[in-house]
Structure 1
Amino acid sequence: MQAFVHRLSMRHPGDVSSLDALLAQERLAVADIVAVIGKTEGNGGVNDFTRGYFTQSLMALLARHGGEPAEALLRRIPCVLSGGCEGVLSPHYLVIGRRRAAASSRGPALAVGVAMSEPVPPQDVGRAAHIASVAQTVRRAMADAALERPDQVHLVQLKVPALTMATLNPLRAAGLAPVSDDPNKAMALSRVAGAFGVALALGETTLDAEALADAALRDFGCFSHRASVSSGVEVACNEVIVLGMSQAWQGPLRIAHRAMADALDAPAVHDVLDELGLLKGRLQPAAEDAARVAGVLVKCEPDRRGHVRGQRHTMLDDTDINAQRHIRGAVGGLVAGLLGDGRVFVSGGAEHQGPDGGGLIAVIAAAEALA
């Protein structure tokens, strides 16, 4: 099996013309597409409808080219979107797929697996049952990628449901208590459930789902090193994409990752780029090496202690600009500056995803000899 990734730019949140051209030219087939990860220019909050707009446009396009109903495509292709293109971040999306490999050579190479859970009941969102559901779905995605060991996994990208007043009010009317009456806090706790579900599936914790739920937004020493979780009103289930390295897979693509200790952790970014042979002693990749990059995925979080490396930051005190927008712009600029490219998937809301106040970075690139 061989994975492929197309990184495509967009002119607006509903622009799928670049993918339309690839499909029309028969450079890829709808049947081979297994996941999409994208960065749209919305606000990244509960009411960011750019994510749903892109998903609707994408599925309509795939239905037209592949003949499969959009409803069926939604059930098999995870579409993980993060809103907010602050600063130099550029709207784009990664089309991820796999096909039978023609070559006889073997890996290690990029491995891709996907899975979707059953819809998560609103009263379970952000709670132990949600954590257990994510863990089960991650294990299914690993099996789909033929990744037999947790240490083969480099990144688990998830989309989990968010609660709105439209779902909170019926819950209360039915005598059911949501995880929080605040949609924004419920959104954060849903992301936490995703992170802890990954930690549970990958053996990154010895706690069970109930104990992990008790640690949510309390014990920040408990986190997943490889989870990147987004939450949105456009999904009702857990959508999981597992990316790893396996000897059973072929092709030029490789993936590397690092935890980012904080928002200034340029060495972590440098180490990932260097591991993939992209820097060669340079501060930024040369044009021919930059062309080998297929995707850059980052998770980040404003340090809740109010300082970075001993110096005070104001992200949490700013009532004009949301802290998540600050951190996406800051870390996005850091990574884009080292990469020389603004097409970086940077998602805020990294609660229990990487070290507290930090996050993680994963880069997919073609091996030089096969580029």
Structure 2
Amino acid sequence: MQATSIDVFRVPTGGPGDVTGLLALISSGALDPSSIIAVLGKTEGNGGVNDFTREYAVAALCAALAPRLGLDPRAVEEKIAFVMSGGTEGVLSPHLTVFARNEVATTSPKTSPDNKRLSIGIAHTREFLPEEIGRDAQIEETMHAVRHAMADGGIDDPSDVHFVQVKCPLLTSERMAAAAARGHKAVTSSAYASMGYSRGASSIGVARALGEVAENVGEARVLKDWDCFSSVASASAGIELMQNVVIVMGNAQASQSRFVIGHAVMRDAIDFPAVLQAIRSVGLDPFDMQSQARLVNAFAKAEASPDGVVRGCRHTMLEDSDINATRHARAAVGGLVGGLAGTGAIYVSGGAEHQGPPGGGPIAVIARV
């Protein structure tokens, strides 16, 4: 396989439509826009059904990149995998993580698995009908997309996959009505609940692709069997699309990148040892400032434990009528991870259905070698 090099840039933003930092990288020559393969962003919306900061951010990015790529903005969205996650509660800071991929000449043969470096692969599913969201069609299509993205990134071994980011659709009243008009029923009548179904089905698709659950696990297990989960899936639902966008991050032998990725699995929102394990998996010491400076970004899922208890102590996240539980969870996990990462500009996404054990979730870290 052709050797590749992956570069990663973390870019702060002053708002969902702020592209000045990205354009500054391009103007300086540090980033070739034609090499951009994926952009993950945190926006300061509410992360709910009506969070339009995600769509606004993607539109701004496509409009900024279109003339530099010689493409229509719609074509930019087809070329680059954009995933925007709303919600920057607590110390979380709005930012973009930009991934660029270039083909390079192999300068030295790699004979040791320890020499594997960061690689990124992307894929898109077809668009889903509203009645397919949260069901077998979404699971199957996501499974195939993950395998396609692995091949795109030259990642052969599922054990080398450390994070799979999926952007998935949700249901609105209009979408549910469209399904009903054609004689079909959506998986739920609640737009907000549909986010969980979409994330859950997508995550089971990831688990099936990587052999974490059996091939026959289907829609009957979504939001019901919490023993079915992926240890590397991160799914974020949004109103701005009707397909799944899949980004697979792992380490590959053919990569000549200056970066490496590792991960761990948090068993709950206060799992300090798991965050340490993830940071140390890429050779960093979270208590050493120089080592900490090599951390490029951390990516984590946050979830309020569904039984209302964390290690025997009752929490009130699920009963708060003022602030949704996912917002509480993002703030809690963001504070824990940010303290060890040394920055609030980290990617923490709420809603971890079938993404790690109940109440927990995966955490991945990218660092400069």
TM bracket, shorter-chain basis = over 0.9
Structure 2 distance, partners of 1:120, 1:284, is 46
Identify which of 153, 173, 185 aligns with 1:165: 173
Match of 1:135 among 133, 143, 162: 143
CA contact 1:284–1:339 (8 Å) conserved in 2: no
Aligned residue among 218, 228, 234 for 1:222: 228
2:330 matched residue in structure 1: 328
* 1:289 paired residue number: 291
Matches within 5 A, 1:115-194: 115-194=123-202
In percent, how many aligned pairs have the same letter?
46
Aligned to 1:8: 11
The one of 296, 301, 319 aligned to 2:303: 301
Which of residues 53, 57, 60 in structure 2 aligns to 1:57? 60
Alpha-carbon offset, residue 153 of structure 1? 0.8
Check the 8 A contact 1:76/1:116 in 2, yes or no: no
Aligned residue identity for 2:8:
V
Report the 3-state secondary structure (helix = DSSP H, G, I; strand = E; otherwise coil) of the residue aligned with 1:38. strand
Tell me the distance in 2 between the aligned counterparts of 1:135 and 1:103: 31
Letter paired with 1:189:
Y
Aligned partner (choices 272, 279, 286) of residue 273 of structure 1:
279
**How far apart, in 2, do the equivalents of 1:103 and 1:203 lie?**
31
Q: What TM-score, normalized by structure 1, do the two folds share?
A: 0.95
Determine the structure 1 residue equivalent to 2:28: 25
Measure how far apart 1:18 and its partner are. 0.5
Deviation at 1:158, TM superposition (A): 0.6
State the alpha-carbon separation in 2 of the partners of residues 114 and 146 from structure 1.
11
Distance 1:324 1:312 in 2: 16
1:301-320 aligned at under 5 Å gives the runs 301-320=303-322
- Please name the residue that 1:45 is paired with: 48
Provide, for residues 36-65 of structure 1, a one-character-per-residue CA deviation record: whole Å limited to 9, x for no partner.
111000000011000001000000111122
Q: Distance in 2 between matches of 1:299 and 1:40?
A: 15
Distance 1:134 1:252 in 2: 29
**1:93 lines up with 2:96 in the alignment:** yes
Whole-Å Cα distance in 2 between the matches of residues 94 and 102 of structure 1?
25
Do 2:135 and 2:218's aligned partners in 1 also have CA atoms closer than 8 Å? no
Question: TM-score under structure 2 normalisation?
Answer: 0.95
Q: Which amino acid aligns with 2:255?
A: W
Query: In 2, distance between residues paired with 1:26 and 1:68?
Result: 20
Counterpart-to-counterpart distance in 2, 1:274 and 1:203: 25
Q: 2:119–2:257: 8 Å Cα contact kept in structure 1? A: no
Contact 1:160 1:231 in 2 (8 A): yes
- Decide which moves more: 10-19 or 172-181: 172-181
**Alpha-carbon RMSD:** 1.2
The number of residues matched between the two structures is: 361
Task: Give yes or no for contact 1:293–1:364 (8 Å, CA) kept in 2.
Answer: yes
Unpaired runs of at least 5, structure 1: none
1:201-256 residue CA offsets vs partner (Å, 9 max, x unmatched): 10111141xx4210111110110111000011111211000011111111210001
Whole-angstrom CA distance in 1 between matches of 2:319 and 2:215: 34
Secondary structure at the counterpart of residue 184 of structure 1 = helix
